[in-house]
Structure 1
């Protein structure tokens, strides 16, 4: 059985700098835990979330 796990990045902040660093840490941890898809869109954060 194949399990696909995705992470929706819509709520990750892009600013201020400290919040962005935390958001990057969350995304990196998600990958470490086996996430194989990070859902982003140009619309999220006015393109900053992409």
Structure 2
């Protein structure tokens, strides 16, 4: 939801889902984005170390 700047309720309405389901999607998206960011930082740190 954050990438599209939608509220959880707006996303739920748009995809005809419950707000609870949309909140789970948003949480998963945030976790995936954080994991990608962390891997990127780790790789950059490893590059600097070598």
TM-score by length of structure 2 reads 0.39
Which structure exhibits the higher relative contact order, with contacts defined as CA atoms closer than 8 Å and separated by 6 or more residues? 1
The TM-score, its normalising length taken from structure 1, stands at 0.39
